[in-house]
Amino acid sequence: APAKAKKIPSKGNKVELSSDGEVEEASWEMEEEEDGSSEEMVDDYGASSSEEEELLPIEKAALKQKPDRGGLSEDDSEEEEEEEVAEKAVEEASRQKMGQKEEESSDLQLNLDIDEQFKLPTTEQIEKEDILFISVCDSLTVFLPAEPPDLHVIHQRIKGNMEVLQDFAVKREEGRTRQEYLALLRQDMAAYYSYSDFLLMKLMDIFPLPELINFLEANEVPRPVTIRTNTLKTRRRDLAQALINRGVNLDPLGKWSKTGLVIYDSSVPIGATPEYLAGHYMLQGASSLLPVMALAPQENEHILDMCCAPGGKTSYIAQLMKNTGMILANDSNAERLRSVVGNLHRLGVTNAVVSNCDGRQFPKVCSYLLWAVLGGFDRVLLDAPCSGTGVISKDPAVKTNKDEKDILRCAHLQKELILSAIDSVNAASETGGYIVYCTCSVMVEENEWVVDYALKKRNVRLVATGLDFGKEGFTRFKDRRFHPSLKSTRRFYPHTHNMDGFFIAKFKKFSNAIPQAQKEPAVEAATPSAVPDTVTEPQPKRKKVEGSKVDKEQKLPQPALKKRHSLQAQRRPLKA
């Protein structure tokens, strides 16, 4: 019986049909041979036809076409050649990649060798980088570097220099001092990270060298976007679900915060969602939540936010107080108060009063309101103006536009503000008497120095902030020694806590009296034997004065003397 020919279309077959239909005839002949001698058919790998049944239809079609390669058309042969050429190209590309990997590995090995044998650059190499081209045109001098700096070379030099400084006694070059290595490191970091020499010197005094590199690297990356749930209008769970439905990828901020959410990415603008416009959340950095948590406001208290703009901390205080009590939101900049008023209205805050006053003069200007009406504040939050060295990722201009005068100017202003904040608090408050001082700076002059100054000038002491994380404040810095209680202050860094650099200190006021400058006791303590003399000193002075009066009376003429004695006799009864 003749074999029945059945045409099965080969799915996924890349071979195109020719115009005369040669490929179709070949496939028909293949089907006939399959039906007639299926038992004798063996594939290239020696598998029987029973194994062939397990193959996919695409693989079966490929096996059918292998015996008839000779009968394929010219187009098919051209396609085979193209496939072979493509395979060769793939092989060559893989070989090239392997060669590149070997070259990279050799380069890495060379770099390791260079790092192990790090040596300070010669004076000629330094001169090449430091030589400046000067052009003068109409009294205009332009300074340009002779060669642009190679950042890759500088980065490798920083790594090698760091390794030498960490084990200086073993890896240092003979005849070289540590100061030379540090000067080169500071110069390279200034070129690589674009910092001023002044700011790098300050940061090198604060951080150890490995931690300094981490701090500088963290400042090159923006901090995560965080929001604070407004519990006056919604719950965090409901807000998170609403934002997820709008295509926002988010997570809880951390175990330490019950209201914070961190935003990873979003398909909609976070500052323009219906939830934002309705006041369900506030765009606020994670570090800005910490001062309010340290302040721990209670319901029905009187609280002063001395530098309140743009209103994030003020609204958080109102949220914790559940719109009870009274908050005085003060700021010296009238333009910034507009954003405060807008945020308070949007978030539904009803217990806040906004004022425009200089914080340094607040106890004097508002003394009647402060003591006669309010009886002093229970708590004060002072987020003082600072140099901004903790938020360099937000404002890179801080890298180069700050100098010693700016730091000292900020420190002087902060000292005036903190004394004013302490004077505004009532130490006799039943629930309060606390002051929280915070800055977004990492400079010691603006943080521990100011706190130590306040401890000496007012009747306050430092207490625990109530925050479970953060690094302790400095009790000693270079040649300065601060009060031991500064261990209770907290520092936050971008490379450690993934938030803006921040400093927080919490005071407890125990007396409303202002201590006077104690100059006389210091002299008495230096000379204790002089104490009885100070008591008996006025008596001999009086004798000398009386004797001088007698001498003057004796010099008076006789009639005048009689008249004076008579007047004195008349005044005696009156004195008695």
Residues 477 and 341 reside in one and the same domain: yes
**% of the chain at pLDDT higher than 90:** 50
- Give the residue carrying structure tokens 């044998």: 117
Q: What's residue 173's pLDDT?
A: 80
Query: Final residue of a domain: which of 193, 215, 233?
Result: 193
The number of beta carbons lying within 10 Å of the beta carbon of residue 321 is 20
Residue 504 lies in a domain: yes
Residue 515 lies in a domain: no
Say whether 357 counts as a known binding-site residue.
Answer: no
Q: What's residue 181's pLDDT?
A: 87
Say whether 313 counts as a known binding-site residue.
Answer: yes
424 and 369 Cβ atoms separated by less than 8 Å: no
Model confidence at 385: pLDDT above 60: yes
Q: What's residue 145's pLDDT?
A: 52
Query: Final residue of a domain: which of 268, 283, 298?
Result: 283
DSSP 377: B
Model confidence at 26: pLDDT above 50: no
Say whether 366 counts as a known binding-site residue.
Answer: no
Residue 532 lies in a domain: no
Residues 356 and 432 reside in one and the same domain: yes
pLDDT tens column, 138-181: 444 444 455 666 788 888 888 888 888 888 888 888 878 888 88
Residue 64 lies in a domain: no
Model confidence at 298: pLDDT above 50: yes
Closest CA to 377 of 303, 449, 445, 444: 303
Say whether 468 counts as a known binding-site residue.
Answer: no
Residue 5 lies in a domain: no
Q: What's residue 109's pLDDT?
A: 46
Closest CA to 424 of 363, 339, 341: 363
Give the list of residues 6+ apart from residue 326 with CB closer than 8 angstroms, or none. 302, 303, 351, 352, 353, 374
Residues 247 and 299 reside in one and the same domain: no
Q: Domain range holding 354?
A: 286-509
Task: Kindly report the CATH number assigned to the domain that includes residue 435.
Answer: 3.40.50.150
Say whether 312 counts as a known binding-site residue.
Answer: yes
Identity of the highest mean pLDDT range in 371-375, 449-453, 561-565: 449-453
Residue 262 lies in a domain: yes
- Locate the DSSP E strands across 179-247: 225-229
Model confidence at 24: pLDDT above 60: no
Model confidence at 451: pLDDT above 70: yes
Residues 408 and 454 reside in one and the same domain: yes
Residues 325 and 342 reside in one and the same domain: yes
Residues 292 and 273 reside in one and the same domain: no
Rounded average pLDDT over 213-233: 95
Element holding 481 (H helix, E strand): strand 480-481
Q: Which neighbouring-strand residues pair with 281?
A: 229
| Tokens coding 199 | 């700011």
Residues 454 and 478 reside in one and the same domain: yes
Q: What's residue 161's pLDDT?
A: 82
Say whether 410 counts as a known binding-site residue.
Answer: no
pLDDT tens column, 11-23: 444 444 444 444 4
Catalytic residues: 440
Rounded average pLDDT over 411-422: 95
Residues 343 and 453 reside in one and the same domain: yes
Lowest mean pLDDT among 168-172, 351-355, 398-402, 442-446: 168-172
Q: What's residue 565's pLDDT?
A: 65
Residue 110 lies in a domain: no
Of the CA atoms within 13 Å of residue 353, those in its CB half-sphere come to 11
Q: What's residue 462's pLDDT?
A: 96
Q: What's residue 566's pLDDT?
A: 63
Domain count, the chain: 3
Q: Which neighbouring-strand residues pair with 228?
A: 260, 282
Task: Kindly report the CATH number assigned to the domain that includes residue 258.
Answer: 3.30.70.1170
Q: What's residue 519's pLDDT?
A: 52
Residues 234 and 291 reside in one and the same domain: no
Residues 268 and 297 reside in one and the same domain: no
Model confidence at 128: pLDDT above 50: yes
Q: What's residue 55's pLDDT?
A: 61
Say whether 12 counts as a known binding-site residue.
Answer: no
Give SS3 for 442.
Answer: coil
Model confidence at 203: pLDDT above 50: yes
DSSP 48: -
Distance, in Å, from the CA atom of 405 to the CA atom of 410, rounded to the nearest integer, reads 9
Q: What's residue 62's pLDDT?
A: 60
pTM of the model: 0.68
Residues 161 and 276 reside in one and the same domain: no
Model confidence at 561: pLDDT above 80: no
Residue 111 lies in a domain: no
Q: What's residue 165's pLDDT?
A: 85
Higher-confidence residue of 35 and 396: namely 396
Averaged confidence pLDDT in the chain: 77
Say whether 67 counts as a known binding-site residue.
Answer: no
Query: Final residue of a domain: which of 509, 529, 544?
Result: 509
Q: What's residue 21's pLDDT?
A: 43
Rounded average pLDDT over 200-204: 93
Residues 295 and 270 reside in one and the same domain: no
